Amino acid sequence: MNSIVLVTGGSRGIGAATAKYLATQGYSVCVNYISNEIEASKVVEQIKENGGTAIAVQADVSHEEDVIRLFNTIDHSLGRITHLVNNAGILLPQMRVSEMTADRINKVLMTNVTSYFLCCREAINRMNKGGAIVNVSSAAARLGSPCEYVDYAASKGAIDTLTTGLSLEVANKNIRVNCVRPGFIETGMHADGGEANRVERIKSSIPLKRGGKPEEVAACIAF
């Protein structure tokens, strides 16, 4: 069976590293992106240069209609999906809960939680012969990210729960659902939160005294 994987948020960071790694393992890859077409195209080009198969598809996975279009595009361009990596997510500028607006909270939850549910739904309905889903969570789910990103941390806590419930719900369909919880990883996402050098600031508290690499997380996701 041809292995076909969708990596949401695949144009940068952990998503890009995962897309490229899975391509080396023989997967046909759909690199999903929301706005960074140039970087998504670079990921696809690198995969093709190394002999792999890949496409890039723009879609805001927090919107149901975009998710449906995304999966239909994969159906027609690569075939029915066998694997899903739910990776798309946002981190907004550091802020205390006492200052957060409903718009901010809803944007984080729609992007980081609703998108995972929608992509899981579409994937499961195509995995008639089994498959695997990996949800990318965060160590923030257990740490809470006080004074910085409690909304982000809460969204990742929801992903942990989604993974537990869904894994039991679809086990009898031969679909495995697992979760990877990266810690402090050196990606551009920290700049989105207003502190590009965040990993450098806190690395002394990490046992290895350094941040993780996207490629290290990609290998874990692939496993």
Report, as residue numbers or ranges, the catalytic residues. Answer: 152
Give the orientation angle of helix 102-109 with respect to helix 150-170, to 10 degrees: 30
Residue corresponding to tokens 């990776």? 87
How many residues can be counted in the chain? 223
Q: How far apart are CA 61 and CA 128, in angstroms?
A: 22
DSSP state of 103: H
- In what order do the strands lie in the sheet containing 4-7? 53-58, 28-33, 4-7, 83-86, 131-136, 175-180
Q: How far is CA 120 from the centre of its chain?
A: 12
Residue corresponding to tokens 């508290």? 205
CB 3 within 8 A of CB 29: no
Within 13 Å, how many C-alpha atoms sit on residue 74's CB side? 29
